[in-house]
Chains A and B, each alone.
Chain A
Amino acid sequence: MTIRHDVVIAGGGGAGLRAAIAIAEARPDLSIATISKVYPMRSHTVSAEGGAAAVKLPADSLDEHAHDTISGGDWLCDQDAVEAFVAEAPEELLRLEHWGCPWSREPDGQVAVRAFGGMRQRRTWFAADKTGFHLLHTLFQTSLKYPSIVRYDEWFITRVLVDDGRVGGVVAIELMSGRIETITAGAVIVCTGGCGRVYPFTTNANTSTGDGMALAFRAGAPLKDMEFVQYHPTGLPFTGILISEAARAEGGWLVNRDGYRYLQDYNLGRPAPGPVLRSMELGPRDRLSQAFVKEVEKGRAIDTPWGPVVHLDLRHLGEEVIEARLPFVRELCLDYEHIDPVRELIPVRPVVHYMMGGVDTDLHGATPLDGLYAAGETACVSINGANRLGSNSLPELLVFGARAGAAVAEAAEGRRAPGPAVLAQGQDERRHLERDLLQRDRGRERIAAVREEMQQTVEQGAGIYRSGDSLTKAADKLHELQERCGSVAIDDHSRVFNTELTAALELSFMLDVAQSVVRCAWLRQESRGAHQRIDFPTRDDERYLAHSLIHLAEDGEPEVRYRPVTITRWPPAERVYGR
């Protein structure tokens, strides 16, 4: 059987829901399918904590937000994309307000803004420290108003179908029943979020397995800047749960084993009692995570069973500020570390948090593959360059989710029905799933074993610091794991909610993503933002003021090309913090 829609949106998180609403408003006649492997309110957007950046105060300007973003991204951002982003972010956040988002307020009732890392002005809108949660629920609940949005909750997409260079739909498994369907559409928007689970230690949800990146890559679209992986400086040891940057924006200090605010040793400014914008603890995430590694090398970190940590000190903020501005931080520390930040130091260490790279798109979310679009963390427009600033990802998924939706609504005119080739591919995929996976009776090893080896390999080869040597070793190992992935055991032959089957599919997606990360990191012989090569320690604008684009060549092998960065008004310069 085949299901037909005008548009398929893969993913029901912030970007996907924003795109769906944009289409539903512009073209109520179009039938929109949102297909997600989880219920929309489970999507990883829910975990975003600190806030969403958009110019709000009279003292601020779009140019300043753009400059902060571009310098924060170590000049790898496309500046036309950044200009569009900063210009549209305020209206998107305002729209969320008009849809009911409970943004935190000033006493006079205006939306409040807070400081954030790498930002010269206070411009981060927030809903206490559960911003992503409120933003996602507001979008989801608002989306229920539109009858043209048809949800496929807990459907797992296994393939994007392409005929004659043009996208024609997807194949998906309904988890509850196990039925496998071809769902055709003239356009597919990939909004499946990030891929943090490629690494062993991540803030990301279990579901952030790079599905959309791998699906687009296999369909023929390029992935851009995959070597740029963000480590957030403050994750809880063992769990990897995020302690929001808002904790530092409200005045938290990072201290080493001697109680010393060590960031002053890393060209990030001098310590002051209160938070100083673009300085010390409010420096960018890449620089803070790199400083941690150096502290460990100097023997000034604290050893724990979960590896070295430093301390985040919030005690001087007092209970009132912590309760009002950082209640979730306190809740997480109490629940998972059994410590109260009002009285105790929080142990933290860098943790994989965000993928700057993703599916290559233009300013309207369109990929080079006709009919395929992407938005949110899955996509790379690129506004984040070599390092994303905290609180830019939520407005990004709104601005570019809406833009992708608008572009699809406009292009939907005159779409033709999918041809027989699309349906034949759908049949092929169904047979593959049924025969090769559901009936596999002699798998050789456990999914988790291959997954853990992959995660350790990527961490060791392509962590905060990489080298040609570490990357070569990682590439060889991933090649071996790719082969082994083809013969993992799937003991579960049930059709109903088969999470072993989906784990096997996710592992294969993650291996594609991991290999893209390692390959692009190996080829980029410079250090920029979150990509630090110990064998090439400086930025090289002569050779690498360019995006890497990895795609599958005709022969089925990955091939990397480069495209120059778009510079409009901010020529490359030194990144300066703390002065």
Chain B
Amino acid sequence: MPDTIAVDVTRYRPDRDDRPTTQRYEIPLRKEWTVLDGLNYVKDRVDGTLSYRWSCRMGICGSCGMTIDGDPKLACETFLTDHRPGPVRVEPLHNFPVIRDLVVELTDFMAKLPRAKPWLVTDSDKPPPDAEYRQTPAEMDEYKQYSMCINCMLCYAACPVYGLERDFLGPALIALAQRYNLDSRDHGADERLEVVSAPEGVWDCTFVGECSRACPKGVDPAGAIQRYKVTAAKETLRSLLLPWGRR
């Protein structure tokens, strides 16, 4: 095994650079090193000015999403040896404004988040019980996979629609709405439907399925969107047939 590998990293400092450039760093190639370990090597020993986000380095905090050799990936889960012989191309996530170097702006997602009402909506007339709401393992399986989203934004980077249509709620948000809709304890599906069935909700999705392929945690946002389209279509039809109200 050669003992080094080249990493081509996109650099951009808005107060200095007119446009992004690429900088090559030669780093040790070790079998246990991820791309994140490589970037840390650069930051610590070669060039302290390189900026990127990272925290847990175990694939659960969702900080270190980047484009690695063209694909949206978590840097902490992507091993350098899988990208031999290099150079490994490391760019910021696509479809987001770049703040600097590999750091992208998440303001749009964070602002849209509350619109999905990602909390348990319960009957406000009734106080919560003294004990837990019962929920069988089978009932939990209904929504469990949608609750595994770590908000890493890889699905937004992969989504061709989000790249063109900034108003699109996007895969993770629709999956999150579905996570609560499918929870046996929740009664907020009707409230969420207004947002998710709006034009910039599920209907923007052209179902290419890139989001589900990009997800590092096995969530299937494309499946959530498809399922929601069926629900939304039924509701639309019902409101046409019964214009005086849903029930």
Residues on A facing B (Cβ under 8 Å): 38-39, 41-44, 46-47, 94, 97-100, 102-105, 107-111, 130, 133-134, 137, 141-142, 144-145, 153, 176, 205-207, 238-239, 241-242, 328, 331-332, 335-336, 446-448, 489-492, 494-500, 503
Contact = CB atoms under 8 A, between A and B. Distances in A.
A98 B44 contact: no
B114 A144 contact: yes
A494 B15 contact: yes
Interface string B190-226: 0000000000000000000000000000000000000
Main secondary structure of the interface of B (DSSP, over half): loop
A205 B62 CA distance: 12
Given A144-B114, A332-B58, A446-B44, 18 more contacts: A39-B110, A41-B150, A41-B151, A42-B53, A42-B62, A97-B133, A134-B147, A137-B147, A141-B176, A176-B99, A205-B61, A332-B59, A335-B59, A448-B43, A448-B44, A494-B49, A496-B100, A497-B99
B63 A38 contact: yes
A100 B45 contact: no
Given A41-B62, A133-B60, A494-B15, A141 B119 contact: yes
B13 A105 contact: no
27 contacts: A38-B53, A41-B62, A42-B53, A42-B56, A44-B56, A46-B150, A47-B56, A98-B122, A98-B132, A98-B133, A99-B119, A102-B183, A105-B136, A109-B136, A137-B147, A141-B118, A142-B120, A153-B110, A206-B56, A239-B57, A241-B58, A332-B58, A496-B13, A496-B14, A496-B15, A497-B51, A499-B51
Contacts of B118: 141, 144
Nearest to B13: A494
Contacts of B60: 46-47, 130, 133, 328
B229 interface: no
Given A447-B48, A494-B49, A46 B119 contact: no
B55 interface: yes
A138 to B, nearest CB: 8
A505 to B, nearest CB: 14
B245 to A, nearest CB: 27
Report, nearest first, the 5 A-B pairs whose CB atoms are least far apart.
A109-B134, A448-B44, A100-B120, A141-B118, A492-B49
Contacts of A98: 120, 122, 128, 132-133
B221 to A, nearest CB: 16
Contacts of A38: 53, 55, 61, 63
B162 interface: no
B100 A205 contact: no
B77 A108 contact: no
B25 interface: no
Nearest to A208: B55
A446 B136 contact: no
Contacts of B96: none
A490 B48 contact: yes
B119 A500 contact: no
Nearest to B134: A109
A142 B119 contact: yes
Interface residues of B, number: 59
A497 B52 CA distance: 9
Given A130-B60, A205-B61, A492 B48 contact: yes
A336 B34 CA distance: 9
Nearest to B186: A100
A153 B140 CA distance: 31
Contacts of B58: 47, 239, 241-242, 332, 336
Given A98-B133, A102-B147, A133-B150, A205 B57 contact: yes
Contacts of B63: 38-39, 42
A137 B152 CA distance: 13
Contacts of A336: 32, 58
Interface string B161-194: 0000000000000001000100101100000000
B131 interface: yes
A44 B55 contact: yes
Contacts of B110: 39, 153
A105 B48 contact: no
B135 interface: yes
A103 B137 CA distance: 10
Nearest to A177: B99
Contacts of A107: 136-137
Nearest to B217: A331
B176 to A, nearest CB: 8
Given A44-B55, A141-B118, A142-B119, A491 B132 contact: no
Interface in B1-56: 13-16, 32, 43-45, 47-49, 51-56
Nearest to B31: A338
Interface string B136-162: 110110011001101100000000000
B99 A47 contact: no
A489 to B, nearest CB: 7
Contacts of A332: 58-59
Contacts of B14: 496
B134 A100 contact: no
A503 B47 CA distance: 13
B232 interface: no
A94 B132 CA distance: 6
